[in-house]
């Protein structure tokens, strides 16, 4: 029978193996084609160099793309495939200043430059309103929609501007009579911060050598509350817990006790011998305490899910940097003090603390900076800024890069630090004008005149910004377009 014929069986096996080999070759060729299309390969000086991929976006778009001085056929927003190497990029658009950057391309790497912002060559402003004197403060809600400032003529009256509709008359916020204590000598306001509902603003009322805390309901001022009276407390510091408008932390520097409370409840003690603290979400609190710490030091503790874990010791200092934020499914903590030259970054400290008996919480990065006194996550939390005046250190979580530099220009007094403009840039006032700069110390731009006690306030779509500027006999709130006319 044929199937018993050795020669036929041999030919069948050969045909079968040949078929398998052809299928394997076909699959391999298909994969190579896909990889080639995705990244590609080039031959340079007799060597095969793999390509990298760059996604480039811009505001405005489309913008022309120059690579090493040569105009590319594509415009933003687009994808470019380039051989591994270092390239000089420039984005241009009629009526706008160019955006420039040196970009390193690695083979088999995908890089996104989706943040380039081109500034109009000519900035056009219009006056929204004017004041007889500079407001005591100006503060913008987290959503960037509202700008609140006190009236120059009434201590308990504030204005709320809707930056999404800046030509509309501002809403007038008048605190209920008797809400704040009567001052016999001097009084002033200090901004503590906003709740994440973009409605409730926490203020500190300083008067006659003491203080009280007022939560202003900017949408319904009649619902504003005096924190001290509501909870029958006399704290020296009040902050929102988890940025919720009905949850608070109370700190008393005379006793170094930290309490927490929710509206309708009685304050409960959280920690003792506290010198600094920062909350994150509902169940996480970083705090520095002298309790259990060696002489001349403080212990930094992490409370998570009701349990306290030791993180590290720090020297006694005038300023402690404690912060936490979440990015890309991970939590990050920043810990440092003004007496040192490093600030430490921890990844998923809560998970480290609860990973098992005897678990230690260890840092995974350190930012070098001399006597740091300010720290802040970017609004997107991708970047961590640590600062001492004009010396900045920035950690890029996504790309695991560290940038350390000194600004070329001084900060006009009374500024103590730069401000995040968005998730990728800083803004500050220098030389009596707004300056903006990318997180990596590139693309510095000088914008329009502004008073240095206020940052520039950017609209939520970043198509315009607002400043308070001094004129001959008054102060103006101006809107400046970031769209070329």
The Cα–Cα gap between 379 and 386 comes to: 14
Q: Is the pLDDT of residue 298 over 70?
A: yes
CA-CA-CA-CA torsion for 349, 351, 352, 353, nearest 10 degrees?
Answer: 90
pLDDT in tens, 415-468: 999 999 999 999 999 999 999 999 999 999 999 999 999 999 999 999 999 999
Q: ∠23-29-31 over CA atoms, to 5°? A: 105
Residues of the chain above pLDDT 90, percent:
86
In this prediction, residue 153 has a pLDDT band, given cuts at 50, 70 and 90, of confident
Structure tokens given for 412:
């006009």
Residues of the chain above pLDDT 70, percent:
90
Q: Is the pLDDT of residue 402 over 70?
A: yes
Residue 485: per-residue pLDDT:
87
Cα–chain center distance at 239:
19
Structure tokens given for 379:
């609004």
Task: With H, G, I as helix, E, B as strand and everything else as coil, classify residue 33.
Answer: helix
Nearest to 461 by CA among 219, 117, 126, 169: 117
pLDDT in tens, 89-143: 999 999 999 999 999 998 888 989 999 999 999 999 999 999 999 999 999 999 9
Task: With H, G, I as helix, E, B as strand and everything else as coil, classify residue 2.
Answer: helix
Q: Is the pLDDT of residue 61 over 90?
A: yes
Task: With H, G, I as helix, E, B as strand and everything else as coil, classify residue 370.
Answer: coil
The Cα–Cα gap between 278 and 267 comes to: 18
Structure tokens given for 128:
């929204």
Q: Is the pLDDT of residue 38 over 50?
A: no
Residue 22: per-residue pLDDT:
62
Residue 19: per-residue pLDDT:
58
Instruction: Note whether 176 and 145 are within 8 A (CB).
Output: no
pTM exceeds 0.75 for this model:
yes
- The pLDDT of 311-333, averaged and rounded, is 96
Residue 11: per-residue pLDDT:
62
Cis peptide before 106 (omega within 30 of 0): no
Residue 32: per-residue pLDDT:
46
pLDDT in tens, 157-174: 999 999 999 999 999 999
Instruction: Note whether 88 and 67 are within 8 A (CB).
Output: yes
Q: Is the pLDDT of residue 223 over 90?
A: yes
**Residue 230 phi, psi (nearest 5):** -60, -40
- The pLDDT of 290-297, averaged and rounded, is 96
The Cα–Cα gap between 249 and 456 comes to: 30
**Residue 24 phi, psi (nearest 5):** -60, -45
């Amino acid at each position: 029978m044929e199937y018993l014929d050795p020669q036929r069986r041999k030919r069948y096996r050969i045909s079968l193996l040949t078929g398998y080999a052809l299928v394997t070759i076909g699959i391999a060729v298909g994969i190579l084609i896909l990889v080639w299309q995705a990244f590609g390969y080039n031959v340079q000086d007799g060597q095969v160099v793999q390509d990298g991929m760059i996604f480039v976006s811009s505001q405005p778009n489309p913008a022309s793309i120059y690579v090493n001085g040569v105009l590319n056929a594509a415009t933003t927003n687009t994808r470019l495939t380039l051989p591994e190497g270092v390239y000089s990029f420039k984005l241009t658009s009629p009526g706008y200043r160019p955006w420039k950057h040196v970009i390193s391309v690695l083979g088999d790497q995908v890089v996104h430059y989706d943040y380039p912002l081109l500034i109009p060559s000519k900035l056009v402003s219009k006056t929204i309103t004017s004041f007889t004197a500079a407001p005591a403060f100006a503060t913008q809600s987290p959503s960037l929609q509202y700008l609140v400032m006190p009236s120059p003529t009434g201590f308990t009256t504030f204005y709320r501007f809707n930056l999404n509709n800046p030509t509309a008359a501002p809403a007038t916020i008048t605190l209920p009579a008797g809400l704040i204590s009567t001052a016999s000598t001097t009084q002033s306001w200090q901004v503590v911060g906003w709740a994440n509902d973009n409605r409730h603003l926490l203020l500190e009322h300083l008067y006659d050598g003491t203080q009280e805390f007022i939560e202003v309901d900017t949408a319904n001022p009649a619902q504003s509350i005096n924190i001290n009276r509501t909870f029958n407390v006399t704290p020296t510091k009040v902050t929102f817990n988890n940025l919720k408008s009905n949850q608070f932390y109370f700190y008393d520097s005379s006793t170094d006790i930290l309490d927490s409370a929710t509206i309708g409840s009685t304050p409960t003690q959280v920690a003792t011998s506290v010198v600094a603290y920062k909350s994150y979400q509902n169940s996480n609190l970083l705090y520095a305490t002298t309790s259990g710490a060696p002489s001349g030091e403080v212990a930094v503790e992490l409370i998570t899910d009701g349990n306290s874990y030791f993180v590290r010791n720090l020297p006694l200092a005038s300023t402690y940097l404690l912060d936490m934020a979440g990015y890309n499914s991970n939590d990050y903590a920043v810990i440092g003090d003004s007496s040192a030259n490093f600030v430490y970054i921890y990844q998923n400290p809560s998970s480290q603390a609860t990973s098992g008996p005897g678990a230690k919480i260890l840092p995974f990065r350190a930012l070098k900076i001399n006597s740091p006194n300010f720290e802040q996550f970017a609004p997107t939390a991708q970047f961590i800024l640590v600062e001492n005046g004009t010396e900045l250190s920035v950690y890029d979580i996504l790309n695991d890069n560290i940038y350390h530099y000194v600004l070329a220009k001084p900060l006009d007094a009374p500024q103590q630090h730069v401000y995040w403009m968005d998730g990728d840039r800083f803004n500050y006032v220098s030389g009596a004008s707004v300056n903006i700069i990318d997180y990596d110390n590139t693309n510095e731009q000088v914008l329009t005149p502004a008073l240095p006690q206020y940052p520039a306030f950017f609209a939520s779509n970043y198509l315009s910004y607002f400043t308070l500027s001094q004129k001959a006999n008054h102060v103006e709130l101006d809107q400046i377009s970031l769209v070329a006319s």
